[in-house]
Amino acid sequence: METLLVATLNKHKLYEIGKILKGFKIYGKGIEVNEDGKTFEENALKKAAAVFKKFKKLTIADDSGLVIDCLDGKPGIKSARFATPPTPQNLCRKVLDKMKKCKSRQAHFVCSMAIIFHTGKIKIINGFVYGEIANEMRGENGFGYDSIFIPSGFTKTFGEMTDTEKNKVSHRARALAKVKEIFSKADKTK
């Protein structure tokens, strides 16, 4: 079984990735990285590169965030640091507070994923899920902004969905589906 390093210490992300990417021995490896990139892709690559440099093994990293139309794309790449402390309650409350005067509730999640193969070859892919922001927090499942995001075509927030339901439509699931496709088309070690 191939070893796959995931550049994260976020146990929720690691759990989601493990549920979606079967057939790997998955290990979370976090290295302190200054996420000062201007895009999700830059931050994902910084994290993957730091872990790959230390361990020289097949590595993936993601940078994800919530982009809200009426807030000019905020919280965006600062999604994980949008409130202090960055608990799901604080993050969601801050978004809901800032959206009180918004007419549009349109939003989307982005997941940029960097893959670094054993050879050092790099591949970056993206996954998106579009939807809207609920008027209040709903559901206890998931993490981050899950309790306020309703994906298009659904009435439930991610926070009200089971892991199985969310992992069929989330931005991370869509990015990881592309990762699985890349791995299935090529020798994982290249």
Tell me: is residue 63 an annotated ligand-binding position: yes
Q: Which of 63, 69, 72, 97 is catalytic?
A: 63
3-state secondary structure of 91: helix
- Decide if 189 contacts 120 (C-beta within 8 A): no
Ligand-binding annotation for 118, yes or no, is: no
Whether 63 sits among the annotated catalytic residues: the reply is: yes
3 labelled as ligand-binding? no
145 is in an annotated binding site: yes
106: left (phi over 0), alpha (psi -120 to 50) or beta: beta
3 membership: H or E segment, kind and range: strand 2-6
Q: Is 101 annotated as a binding residue?
A: no
Q: Is 72 annotated as a binding residue?
A: no
The answer to whether the annotation marks 130 as part of a ligand binding site is: no
**Could you tell me how far CA 81 lies from the centroid of its own chain?**
14
Bridge-based pairing of strands 2-6 and 59-68 is: parallel
158 is in an annotated binding site: no
What whole-number distance in Å separates Cα of residue 49 and Cα of residue 7? 9
Looking up tokens 């918004």 gives 102
- Separation between Cα atoms, residue 173 and residue 190, nearest integer Å: 23
Is 108 among the annotated ligand-binding positions? no
Annotated binding site for Mg(2+): 63
Residues annotated as part of the active site:
63
Annotated binding site for substrate: 8-13, 64, 143-146, 166, 171-172
Annotated binding site: 8-13, 63-64, 143-146, 166, 171-172
